[in-house]
Amino acid sequence: MNGEDLARDKAAVTGVGCTGFSRDSGVSVDALALQASLLAIRDAGLEPSDIDGVLTYGVGDAAAVRDISQALGLESVNWYCDVFGGGSYSCATVAQAAMAIATGLCRHVLVYRALNGRSGRRLGRTALGGGDAGPPRVPGPGQFSVPFGMSGPVQQYGLLARRHMIEFGTTTEHFGQVAVTLRGNAVLNPRAIMRDPITLEDHQASRWIAEPLRLLDCCQETDAGCAIVLSRADAARDRPHPPVYLSSFALGGSGPASQPLDKYPDFTRLFPAHIGPGLFGRAGLSVSDIDVAALYDAFTFLVIAQLEDFGFCGKGEGGPFVAGGGIAREGAIPVGTNGGLLSEGYVHGLNNLLEAVEQLRGNAGERQIEGAETALATGWGANVGSALVLRR
């Protein structure tokens, strides 16, 4: 019922790399992508000529595979893809790389994501025409949302969060507990953009963006690049770092579209409810076996929703679970040990996956969760999303 385990542990992360995280990188997106990619390739003990697969994802703001492959001087590529998509594709693009390996196509695959998310093209600022030509015209599904002032994810998640508050009594203070916990983790992370501790009072004093979400419920617009190298299991063992295996993965949910939400039946039952059982089943694990969770946290509410729908806590209990310390470093399931997208920075989710790898390698420094052997990493957090189960 959980499908065959054909892909389990067939691919492993052998290299990771990232640039510094900033508000203004001062360089091009291609430069960020190349810097991160070279670091990841060398971290794996490889040369660019060893890479035979290349993937990235983005929403028109990414470094193209064509340009990065040429600049790296790759000799021969068997699979590549420029995925058009946002956070859902962070783990999914890595999963696609794992499939290219499991099918025998590729031996060492590079996955990167770079963006000048603050100084360049900012997410949630819909690129619209208009001006002298009259008001901007919105085609596609956006024609039913953008003309009403719905511009991006913060409002979308605000709508989901509100429904959760209605049905389960979740509060803005619960959201605040997520922000405070992850900021506390970022204090331990020299890479993080936001390293000053915050209190619940700070959170409650921060301004509304899309009520019920406040400024401190939102992630950090960031300029940075992240990359990983995925290798075939038999080529992953004699590398500089212990391999981190991909035990299972999924990209799915209820209907393969994150927007519009118009047809989405239950705003409180999100993608993990659909993919979670199969994901853990194919990995041969259960949710209680997961040691650290790199949950996609573009907004605080997503953490609460995913905790519930993966089964880390009961339905509707995510708020109290967080308030009771459930996601803290010493809690039942440490979440966002790097500070997450909320405080480390927002590299469209890929930076959270890097943290999961570092935790499983055991080289997360001050942030290390002792004895971490398995991790869950996720991408996005609405009616669709992607996820990976990793093990050392």
Partner 1 sequence: MTVDYVKPIPEPNRDSRGFWEGCRARELRILRCRECGTYVHQPAPLCHACNASELDWQRVSGRGRVYSWVVVHHGTLPGFSRETPYVVAFIELAEQPGLRILSNVIDCDPSELCDGFEVSVTFVDAGDEVSLPVFRPAGAGE
Residues that bind partner 1 (CB under 8 A): 124-126, 128, 130, 134-141, 143-152, 154-155, 158-160, 162-163, 166, 207-213, 260-263, 265, 267
DSSP 285-341: --GGG--EEE---SBHHHHHHHHHHHTSS-TT-HHHHHHTTTTSTTSSS-B-TT-HH
Q: Name the minimum Å distance from CB 253 to partner 1.
A: 15
Of 264 and 380, CB closest to partner 1: 264
The residue among 260 and 362 lying less far from partner 1, judged by its C-beta, is: 260
Residue 197 Cα distances to 29, 186, 187, 299, 304, angstroms: 30, 8, 7, 18, 21
Measured distance CA(143)–CA(125) in Å, rounded: 16
CB of 130: closest distance to partner 1 in angstroms?
6
Single out the residue of 310, 305, 295 nearest to residue 378, CA to CA: 295
φ, ψ for residue 323 (rounded to 5)? -65, -25
Q: What is the largest CA-CA distance in the chain?
A: 61
Q: Is 206 exposed, middle or buried (0-12, 13-18, 19+ CB in 10 A)?
A: middle
* Rounded least distance, CB 320 to partner 1, Å: 21
What is the Cα–Cα distance from 353 to 91, expressed in whole angstroms?
A: 8
Q: Which has the closest alpha carbon to 282: 228, 245, 230? A: 245
Q: Which of 170, 194, 169 shows the shortest CA–CA distance to 336? A: 194
Interacting residues of 195 by C-beta distance below 8 A, sequence separation 6+: 186, 187, 189, 339, 343
Residue 6 or 166: the one with the smaller Cβ distance to partner 1 is: 166
Q: Report the nearest approach of partner 1 to the CB of residue 299 (Å).
A: 12
Nearer to partner 1, 265 or 371 (CB): 265
**Residues with catalytic function:** 296, 346
Q: Which is nearer to partner 1, 111 or 165 (CB)?
A: 165
Judged by CB, which is closer to partner 1: 122, or 361? Answer: 122
Which residue's CB is nearer to partner 1, number 84 or number 144? Answer: 144
Residue 343 CB, shortest distance to partner 1, in Å, is: 20
**Cβ neighbours for 60, distance < 8 A, ≥ 6 positions apart:** 84, 121, 127
CB of 165 to partner 1, least distance (A): 9
| Among 295, 264, 35, CA closest to 181 | 295
Least distance in Å: CB of 195 to partner 1? Answer: 24
Query: What residues have CB less than 8 Å from 157, skipping those under 6 apart?
Result: 210, 213, 298, 299, 301, 302, 381, 382
